């Protein structure tokens, strides 16, 4: 019999299984989710008993052994330490297992922590951007870790180009371009912090940019109609999703901007909405009647009673505001319901820009609605404005012959 299999709840953690399930239910998780988490706690309890260890020995390395065993035995869920955080947090609060006393593993973690604070406080970057830049920083710095610390004083331009060439070999040439800007940011930080002797940001080569090669990935009117029709507006979740999709396709909002909307941001009398954009930017935009009606319908009929000031709330799990990732999943779920290929939230942003141009808006007006920092970013949409392009097209030399 497997080390993880066994009947019922047994072992030294058995007394906490029911209370753990009750806590999850109280936080807003569904009974099924709470029951599934309880099964994992019961499995951990049986494993502890089989291994003849006590709960106060459940340190991080021991928990890693438990998840490793689940992976080896073919389990598809709760296979990582991160997936156990609800259970581990509960057991630590109940003082059943020891607290996490692990200090940063080495100087690398200390340095990455300082870099993260720099990105958040000095640069004011969004959480998703910070996460992406931290990933590149870790991959670049890890090879320079030695038993004596992090050897960066001898860092040279060849190390920078060598890193990118190595990443191109591992991930493909197309994966290198998104790394160049985060790598420059890291190298500037290392120079300002006095960890390298010179600013090596200029050593990062410029990747080829086919920015104006492809057309923006907009979707047609039939696809938009199908996405909106897939929302069951007789149910609160459908009302919420319909309002979110309408904002995405009519105002071209980013997923994070939809998640950041607060009740106080909407001026119903003036018909305007304040958008919290990148880098702490705040912009006031007109609220299209169609979008306003969809949001108002959700607020009146579908939104749960809550002290939270976020416009859009989670429909399952702990009560609270939706995250940007949750908003992204709204369009993906609607695509699946409508039987369409996946339509991401950013494609609906492209759709909004394209529709504005087709209805006579100028590129500066589109840039204002999309809140681009530079009109150069909006220039890509010039290719879909065929009427304007027709005014400047010239006949091909010799075509009359």
Active site amino acids: 254, 278, 346, 349, 372, 381
What single DSSP character describes residue 12? T
Residue pair 318/85 in contact by the 8 Å Cβ criterion: no
Residue in 299, 303, 278, 279 with CA at minimum distance from that of residue 287: 299
Contacts of 317-325 with C-beta under 8 Å, sequence gap 24+, read: 317/27, 317/28, 317/29, 317/33, 318/27, 318/28, 318/29, 319/27, 319/28, 321/259, 322/258, 322/259, 323/259, 324/128, 324/254, 324/255, 324/256, 324/258, 324/259, 325/255
DSSP string, 185-235: HHHHHHHHTTSSSS--GGGSPPPP--TTSSPP----HHHHHHHHHTS-TTS
Q: How many Å apart are CA 293 and CA 250, to the nearest integer? A: 12
Distance CA 36, CA 12 (A): 19
Q: Specify the 3-state DSSP secondary structure of 79.
A: coil
Write the burial class of residue 69 (CB in 10 Å: 0-12 exposed, 13-18 middle, 19+ buried).
middle
CA 401 – CA 397 distance, rounded (Å): 9
């Amino acid at each position: 019999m497997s080390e993880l299999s066994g009947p019922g709840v047994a072992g030294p953690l058995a007394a906490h299984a029911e209370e753990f399930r009750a806590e999850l239910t109280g936080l807003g998780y569904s009974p099924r989710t709470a029951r599934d988490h309880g099964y994992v706690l019961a499995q951990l309890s049986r494993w502890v008993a089989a291994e003849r260890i006590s709960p106060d020995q459940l340190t991080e390395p021991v928990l890693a052994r438990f998840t490793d065993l689940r992976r080896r035995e073919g389990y598809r869920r709760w296979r990582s330490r991160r997936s156990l955080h609800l259970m581990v947090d509960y057991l630590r609060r109940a003082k059943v297992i020891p607290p996490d006393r692990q200090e940063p593993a080495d100087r690398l973690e200390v340095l990455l922590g300082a870099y993260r604070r720099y990105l958040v406080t000095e640069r004011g970057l969004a959480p998703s951007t910070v996460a992406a830049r931290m990933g590149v920083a870790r991959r670049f710095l890890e090879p320079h870790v030695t038993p004596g610390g992090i050897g960066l004083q001898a860092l040279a331009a060849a190390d920078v180009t060598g890193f990118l060439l190595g990443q191109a070999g591992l991930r493909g040439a197309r994966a290198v371009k998104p790394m160049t800007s985060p790598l420059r940011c890291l190298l500037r930080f290392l120079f300002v912090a006095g960890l390298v002797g010179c600013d090596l940001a200029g050593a990062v080569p410029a990747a080829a940019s086919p920015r104006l090669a492809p057309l923006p990935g907009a979707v047609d009117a039939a696809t938009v109609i199908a996405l909106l029709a897939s929302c069951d507006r007789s149910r609160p979740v459908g009302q919420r999703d319909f309002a979110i999709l309408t904002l995405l396709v009519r105002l071209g909002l980013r997923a994070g901007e939809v998640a950041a909307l607060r009740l106080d941001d909407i001026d119903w009398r003036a018909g305007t909405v304040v958008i919290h954009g990148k880098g702490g930017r705040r912009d006031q935009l007109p609220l299209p009647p169609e979008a306003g009606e969809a949001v108002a319908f959700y607020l009146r009929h579908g939104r749960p009673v809550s002290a939270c000031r976020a416009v859009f709330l989670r429909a399952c799990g702990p009560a609270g505001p939706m995250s940007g990732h949750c908003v992204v999943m709204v369009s993906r779920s609607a695509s699946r319901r409508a039987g369409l290929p996946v339509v991401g939230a950013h494609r609906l942003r492209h759709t909004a820009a394209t529709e504005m141009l087709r209805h006579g808006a100028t590129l500066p007006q589109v840039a204002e609605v999309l809140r681009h920092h530079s009109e150069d970013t909006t220039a890509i949409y010039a290719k879909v404005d065929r009427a304007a392009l027709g005014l400047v097209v010239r006949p091909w030399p010799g075509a009359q012959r």
